[in-house]
Amino acid sequence: MALSLILAIGFGRLYWSARPGSDEFATSIHTLAGATVGTVWDLRTPAESFPDVQLDFWRSEVDRILEAHPDDAELHAAAAVMLDQPCFLFLSQLSRDVADTRASHPLAFSSAAFERHQEARTLFDEVGSAHATELIRRATELEPDDPRWWRFRAVLMWPPPLSSQEYQPRESDWVQVLEIAKQHDRDNALYALLQAYWASEKAIEFDENAGIVLGNPDAWSQAVEQSRNCVAR
């Protein structure tokens, strides 16, 4: 009886402190459920699962949706974004699955936790990124005159931060892709900015003292030229 009363009071305070129907309210309810019923049953959403589980979920959903809408460029682009990188909400549940339950900080996780995370993230990066590249390429093929899909394709050209992939363009013909994108989106400096950033990444190196040195003058010249193109636009 006392427990029921406490839960009722807690839910009442939650109801008044967060707007019903809002994201805050839904998040609070999900957190409350996870801390109570979730200790017995797994109530995690796909976004809170490990990257390999997220990958299986999104690939299944993408295949199902695109089978019904094979010529929808917007859905292809949206699917590419979902497969670009996993959601990191699973980190809040990491200790519950594979780490020492006493750990309260990611740095305190056991080696098993890191290995589990690395394996799952590597799988997502390898399989998901390849699928994402195919999907966004298809979006530009379906609606080549829509600049939105070229912008997405340009942004998704490189792996996101914290990716296990080597930081290289995902498409071997990336220069040609960006040049075509410029033709469909002439007043956008995005493409020159990306080219400038990539050239600067190749130009700058670090010495043994972690100091920045110019290792590739030609790449640096390209970065400067592309930066000027950004300003010109």
Q: Where are the beta strands (DSSP E) in the chain?
A: 204-206, 212-214
Q: How far apart are CA 128 and CA 163, in angstroms?
A: 11
Residue 77 has pLDDT above 70, yes or no: yes
Residue pLDDT, tens place only, 151-162: 999 999 998 877
Residues 6+ apart with CB under 8 A from 192: 182, 226, 227, 229, 230, 233
What gap in Å lies between CA 58 and CA 232, rounded to an integer? Answer: 40
**For residues 179 and 83, what is the distance between their CA atoms, to the nearest angstrom?**
25
pLDDT per residue as tens digits for the range 3-18? 565 555 555 554 545 4
What digits encode the pLDDT tens for the residues 99-133? 444 545 555 556 677 788 789 989 999 999 999 99
d(CA 146, CA 73): 9
How far apart CA 192 and CA 190 sit, in angstroms, is 6
DSSP run (H or E) holding 115: helix 111-123
DSSP state of 188: -
**Average pLDDT, integer, range 165-171:** 85
